[in-house]
Every structure is written in C-alpha cells, then in structure tokens.
Amino acid sequence: MDGIPGDSIRKVVVACDAGMGSSVLLAGQLRRELRNLPVTVEHHPIAAIPADADVVLCQLGLAERARAGAPGKVVVGFRLFLGDPAVARVVAAVKQGGVVFGTPGS
C-alpha cells in the first residue's frame, strides 16, 4: 500500500528485531501522544506483525522484512527511536489529517 489517510489509522505497530527495548519505549511514547484518539499502538517482533495493523513503524534496516511480513500495509522506516521526523509525520497525520506514506523500497 502506498499511503493511508491519518483518519483511517486504527492500529500502529512498532516492529523490532533486536529486542533491546528501544522500540518498546517508542511504542509507549506513541501511546501517550495518541491516547485521546481511537488508535491502538502495539509492539511486535518483525516476524509477527498482526494482520490488522494499518501502519508499521520499524528501523530503516528492517523495512524490507516488514514489507515482506505485512504485505499491503504502510511500512514507515525510521532512523532514530526518539525525535525521528518519519515518526513525527505519522503522529501529525493521525492528529491533524494528512496521508501517511510508506518508506520507498530499495
């Protein structure tokens, strides 16, 4: 999927591989930022992305694996766990409208 309107997003999944805890922290931050909206934020391993995810956030190096494991979903890759512009764009689209576009494939 190329993009999804922010007002259509109901589930955001933060997917990880390393298990270092940074992605759990990002999921918690997103839950706080989106707490008053009808959006669920979950954390899952990259190999177990749920079928009902609308947007998958993961490190850029994992984006291809996320796309393979979640076909048809918008996959947004980021570089930084805190303060990354790609994550900020997802939050802004959910809160203020706009379209979330996936990170282009390599």
- 16, 26, 53, 57: which one is catalytic? 16
The rounded distance, in Å, linking the Cα atoms of 81 and 61 is 13
99: CB partners within 8 A, 6+ apart: 3, 4, 5, 6, 93
Whether 58 is catalytic: no
Tokens of 92: 């802004």
Catalytic residues: 16
